[in-house]
Amino acid sequence: MTIFDIPVQAWSAQIMIGLVNGSFYAILSLGLAVIFGLLNIANFAHGAFYMMGAMGAWMLSEYLGLGYWAALLISPLMVGLLGVILERLFISQLYKLDHTYSMLVTFAMTLMIESLLRNAYGNSGQPYSAPALLSGGTSPGVIFMPNYRLWVVGASITVCLATWLLIEKTQLGSYLRAATENATLVRALGINVPRMLTLTYGCGVALAALAGVFAAPIYGANPAMGSDLLIVVFAVVVIGGMGSIFGSILTGYVLGFTEGITKVVYPEASTTVVFVIMIIVLLVKPQGLFGENK
């Protein structure tokens, strides 16, 4: 059977899945790029914060009876606040050290967070329903598109675009970029640089948690869900260029789409296509597609 014999429904289903996965890749890699590009921290705890966003949404529903829309705001704020605390206690001590130290510390955070939630709730995961407002789907012709997945794609594009504009096109973003290059000069302007760096880490962590809330109605809330996704997201960041915010966003969507197409054309390669692309890109351009030469 050739690709021309594959039904339209199969193409449309896998393209939609690819775009949804690409949305998660984009938001997560955006948070990683913000933390690495602006703080120079390799945040291996990013997958754990993504998982905490999903688990937080489930806990808010299970224990407080709060719905999806409340969780969409509260869960990222709670996880972002935890990120602020962790930054003050641990991450702030690592800014002038080699990346190895940040990798080890954040990996240890991941193990502790996952172990605590796994001991409390097990490994099977918890179901989480999509809001009634986004139930059902849209069917233009032969293609069926679930409303919730369309919402995830649209909302993720909005979040990624807003974050990019904030960092690249506003005065606050320019101060933040300057603080990472010359903190002494920025302090001379009366700006509290440590507080700015702390809030940056908290915002990067909150982006991961937001992706987790988006993912909960699709994949459920599982203590291991962050570990399953983190290695792919790091590959996305490497392909886009470490620290490149625009590169991480664009690469996330493109690779999610490519993964979906691969599942139709050659399903056996769908789990490795991202890493094959990463190897090719690093051989041709070691700093990534949008990375800068050091």
Report the CATH number that the domain containing residue 107 is assigned in CATH. 1.10.3470
Among 1-5, 103-107, 199-203, the minimum mean pLDDT is found in 1-5
- Tell me, yes or no, whether 143 lies in a domain: no
- Both tokens assigned to 229: 């996704």
Residue with tokens 């987790």: 212
Tell me the pTM: 0.91
Report the distance separating Cα 288 and Cα 294, nearest Å.
12
108 within 8 A of 217, measured Cβ to Cβ: no
Report the distance separating Cα 69 and Cα 88, nearest Å.
30
Cα dihedral across residues 232, 235, 237, 240: positive or negative: negative
For residue 284, give the H/E element and its range.
helix 273-284
Report the distance separating Cα 149 and Cα 214, nearest Å.
9
Give the domain extent around 118. Answer: 3-138+151-284
- Tell me, yes or no, whether 131 lies in a domain: yes
- Tell me, yes or no, whether 290 lies in a domain: no
- Tell me, yes or no, whether 47 lies in a domain: yes
Tell me: pLDDT of 36 over 60.
yes
Residue with tokens 């688990």: 55
| Domain count within the chain | 1
Residue 24 is predicted with a pLDDT of 93
- Tell me, yes or no, whether 146 lies in a domain: no
The pLDDT tens digits of the residues spanning 13-22 come to 778 888 899 9
The pLDDT tens digits of the residues spanning 221-239 come to 999 898 878 889 989 999 9
Residue of 207, 238, 284 whose CA lies nearest to 50:
207
- Tell me, yes or no, whether 293 lies in a domain: no
Residue 115 is predicted with a pLDDT of 92
The pLDDT tens digits of the residues spanning 178-210 come to 776 666 777 777 788 888 889 889 999 999 999
Tell me: pLDDT of 9 over 90.
no
- Tell me, yes or no, whether 211 lies in a domain: yes
Ramachandran category for residue 61: left, alpha or beta (phi over 0 → left; psi -120 to 50 → alpha)? alpha
Tell me: pLDDT of 50 over 90.
yes
The pLDDT tens digits of the residues spanning 241-282 come to 877 888 889 999 999 999 888 888 888 888 889 999 999 999
CB atoms within 10 A of CB 182: 11
The residue-averaged pLDDT of 138-159 equals 84
Report the distance separating Cα 245 and Cα 242, nearest Å.
8
Report the distance separating Cα 84 and Cα 59, nearest Å.
21
Q: Render the burial of 13-37: b for 16+ CB within 10 Å, e for the rest.
A: bbbbbbbbbbbbbbbbbbbbbbbbb
Residue of 218, 14, 26, 261 whose CA lies nearest to 128:
218
Q: What is the 3-state secondary structure (H, E, C) of 105-129?
A: HHHHHHHHHHHHHHHHHCCCCECCC
Residue 146 is predicted with a pLDDT of 85
Half-sphere exposure of 35 (CA within 13 A, CB side): 34
- Tell me, yes or no, whether 292 lies in a domain: no
Q: What is the 3-state secondary structure (H, E, C) of 139-161?
A: CCCCCCEEHHHHHHHHHHHHHHH
177: amino acid identity, one letter: R
Please state the φ and ψ torsions of residue 127, each to the nearest 5 degrees: -75, 145
Tell me: pLDDT of 162 over 70.
yes
Report the distance separating Cα 79 and Cα 229, nearest Å.
18
